[in-house]
Amino acid sequence: MTIDDTLASTIPRIEPSRAADTSVPYRVPVYIGCTILALVTNYLLGKDMAWDTLNYHLYAGFSAIHDRFAQDYFAAGPQSYFNPYIYVPFYLLVSAGLSALKISSVLAAVHSVILWLTYELAVTACPSDDKHKRLMFGLCGVALALANPVLLQQIGSTFADITTGELMLAGWLLLARAVRTPNTARVACAGLLVGAATALKPTNAVHAIAGFAVLIMVPLNLRGRLRQGVGYGISLGLAFLIISAPWSYRLEKMFGNPVFPLMNGVFRSPDFTAESMRHFRFIPATLGEALWRPFAMVDPSYMVHEEIRAPDIRYAVLVVLLIAFFINWLWHRRALRPSTSSLDTESASTRVLAALGCGLAVDWVTWLIGSGNSRYFLPAANVAAIVLTALVFRLFVKQPKVRNYFLAAIFCVQGVQLWLGTDYRWGPAPWDDQWLKITVPNELATEPSLYLTTGIQTNSFMAPFLNRGSGLVNIAGGYTLSPDGATGARIQALIKQYSPNIRVLLRGEKVYPDDERHRPSRSEVDDTVGPFGLRVNLSDCATIAIHGLPAELEITFATSEPVVPKSIDSTYMVSCRLVPDNTYQETAHAQLRTANLVLDRLEDACPALFQPRRPRTEYIGGTAVRRYINTDLIAWVSHGWVKFHQPTQVDNITYLGKQSEWETASLPISCGRRNGHFFANVVGSRDGS
């Protein structure tokens, strides 16, 4: 008796099968309906000017078409060097001058394809050959997939998770059909699609790995399954290499690392840290947290499984249904009888469901270990919707009214969550004539200059609107560049190349003199560019007006300077010329040496929190700051105290002892992570202060 027979025999037969009908009913009307629904949803939600859009999405498409390696350096931070080809269509739409609504509508129409594929996959897993029941099953799968708040958030946006997820889901669809009817060509094509999706967005690698688990259920002997798995792996790797090769060649030539900045612990490019890079923001800290994650996702709170609110009951319901299904299997286990056929519709669909379940289980575990961010789980989330649909239909096969009530309850509860507890846009903005309306002064549009930018938000979206010969370097922000070593040498080479046309570019209507006590201040800018032998010239500044942007997301440390209120309708960026000045190096050297000693000891006392180790220390206004991109933490020394803060959470600043004590010796620290919150206290201190 095969596993397919065992599973099938535990489920009452839905209807007798005479011939397996694998056709997809009402395909075109369903496709049209899905696209219209995506377009309407996008229009109602409004334009999304997400942080990532401004930080690197537009720049990525721009840099893929215009060779920027000779004039830019970390223009969009480390994201500057991710494979940019998936963002080319968005850049072309913006550069064509289309309205914001037209651009977003095109993106929404493309995003609707993921619902088409969900329908196709649901019908493939349907345990009936009745046309109308297959339609109902498919529509329920699509509806449950669309009830995903993360999917709704991204419809019409510039995120590539849906677009690459469509390639991934198409690959899984082919794998599912190969499980129903073994076919080497389908498996090979699936590998090509999955490999392309992974090359365009490496976070899809977890779904590619899970594809091997789907193939476990192919109805072949062990040798046949191994052959299918090898074919899938070869085609996956081939597609990955073909799609990655052009960009990887440039990265290898520039940095000596074909996947820069990833895997730099292996390739050890001097331009980036060789420490392990792993974003812990949503990764469970304990096994208990991991097991609780499906139920934690029901909570309409921030920073649960993505940065904004996205409550989702579907995974909790799926866990409950799986437990019920397992109990049902145990109950019927003693009554099992060998089945003589595994070729009927129900047995084939059971095999597909088991394959999708195996793939989903592997996907969920590897995803939690790798990131735990639901934006990177979208293809598997649609598979989860199909598995959920199948379990409901199978468990209540003899009680169709109960099944309908149960589905209605799921949709009602999730509907309330979507209505009251979900944030639908990362950076909501009204529809207007242009995606970006930017007024650039003539001297910036005509004169090629090197722009040094600062801040967690790199503002690299400005690159296409400045003189095409200009260069950008984000010297301080999410990843702060050092004035020494390989990074310092590259930056100095660019400064020499563009001299004397060196400028700073940052958010704000102007750079304020220090006595006005507003930000950005002159001393703040000088402290940022000073390590590179420069200072700001306030007599040569220009202001850029940008209309329709959301408020800036900026991560800062404590300051007593007031922030100038921003206009709701306009955002300003200021660019001032920079001139040579080496006085910073003389005044800051002693303070930095002491601060580096203290922060090095802090990192060594708690390596689990402060990683990657030894980032460059910024020294601004008497405050020495280090930013840790793995854990989203900031540690700094100011006013005689050592402190740290997790800006992505609402925690208060934690004091970790006096600077003088750390200068003498390392203090004992108790530290760790619970439910996404990092904590650290000096041993013997109740509150760390």
- Partners of residue 543 on adjacent β-strands: 574
pLDDT, residue 628, reads 93
Q: Identify the band that residue 651 occupies on the pLDDT scale cut at 50, 70 and 90.
A: low
By the 8 A CB rule, do 618 and 528 touch? yes
Query: pLDDT at residue 686 above 70?
Result: no
pLDDT, residue 520, reads 87
By the 8 A CB rule, do 126 and 137 touch? yes
Tens of pLDDT along 441-476? 998 999 999 999 998 889 999 999 999 999 999 999
* 294 or 508, higher pLDDT: 294
Query: pLDDT at residue 400 above 70?
Result: yes
Three-state secondary structure call for residue 226: helix
Task: Please tell me the least confidently modeled range out of 65-69, 310-314, 498-502, 506-510.
Answer: 506-510
Mean pLDDT, residues 405-434: 91
pLDDT, residue 582, reads 82
By the 8 A CB rule, do 440 and 465 touch? yes
Q: Identify the band that residue 346 occupies on the pLDDT scale cut at 50, 70 and 90.
A: low
What is d(CA 283, CA 631) in angstroms, rounded to the nearest whole number?
10
Mean pLDDT, residues 300-318: 94
pLDDT, residue 585, reads 65
Which helix (H) or strand (E) segment holds residue 538: the answer is strand 534-547
Mean pLDDT, residues 646-667: 86
pLDDT, residue 552, reads 54
What is d(CA 629, CA 614) in angstroms, rounded to the nearest whole number?
12
pLDDT, residue 17, reads 37
Query: pLDDT at residue 408 above 60?
Result: yes
Nearest alpha carbon to residue 58 among 12, 10, 107: 107
* 271 or 4, higher pLDDT: 271
Tens of pLDDT along 354-364? 999 999 999 99
The DSSP symbol for 478 reads S
* 685 or 154, higher pLDDT: 154
Alpha helix ranges (H) inside 440-581: 442-446, 485-498, 522-529
Query: pLDDT at residue 32 above 90?
Result: yes
By the 8 A CB rule, do 161 and 197 touch? no
Query: pLDDT at residue 342 above 70?
Result: no
Q: Identify the band that residue 276 occupies on the pLDDT scale cut at 50, 70 and 90.
A: confident
pLDDT, residue 650, reads 63
Q: How far apart are the first and last CA of the chain?
A: 66
pLDDT, residue 570, reads 78
Q: Identify the band that residue 31 occupies on the pLDDT scale cut at 50, 70 and 90.
A: very high
Average pLDDT, the chain: 88
Query: pLDDT at residue 121 above 90?
Result: yes
The DSSP symbol for 636 reads E
Q: How many residues comprise the chain? A: 689
So where are the chain's domains? 3-45+96-253+280-420, 437-581, 586-682
**Could you give the percent of the chain with pLDDT greater than 90?**
71
What is d(CA 246, CA 674) in angstroms, rounded to the nearest whole number?
42
pLDDT, residue 554, reads 42
Alpha helix ranges (H) inside 499-582: 522-529
Tens of pLDDT along 172-219? 999 999 999 999 999 999 999 999 999 999 999 999 999 999 999 999
Q: Identify the band that residue 337 occupies on the pLDDT scale cut at 50, 70 and 90.
A: low
Task: Please tell me the least confidently modeled range out of 63-67, 298-302, 578-582, 649-653.
Answer: 649-653
Residue 351 C-beta-side C-alpha neighbours within 13 Å: 26
Nearest alpha carbon to residue 272 among 251, 244, 289, 290: 251
Three-state secondary structure call for residue 282: coil
Task: List C-alpha distances in Å: 215 to 226, 379, 387.
Answer: 9, 17, 17
Query: pLDDT at residue 339 above 80?
Result: no
pLDDT, residue 551, reads 59
Tens of pLDDT along 55-103? 999 999 999 999 999 999 999 999 999 999 999 999 999 999 899 999 9
The DSSP-derived string for 109-174 is HHHTHHHHHHHHHHHHH-S---HHHHHHHHHHHHHHHHT-HHHHHHTTSS-SHHHHHHHHHHHHHH
Tens of pLDDT along 511-564? 988 888 788 889 899 999 999 999 999 999 999 998 877 755 443 333 444 444
Q: Angle at the Cα of 310 (from 305 to 311), degrees rounded to 5?
A: 95
Whole-structure pTM value: 0.89
Mean pLDDT, residues 627-651: 88
pLDDT, residue 336, reads 56
Query: pLDDT at residue 14 above 80?
Result: no
**Could you give the percent of the chain with pLDDT greater than 70?**
91
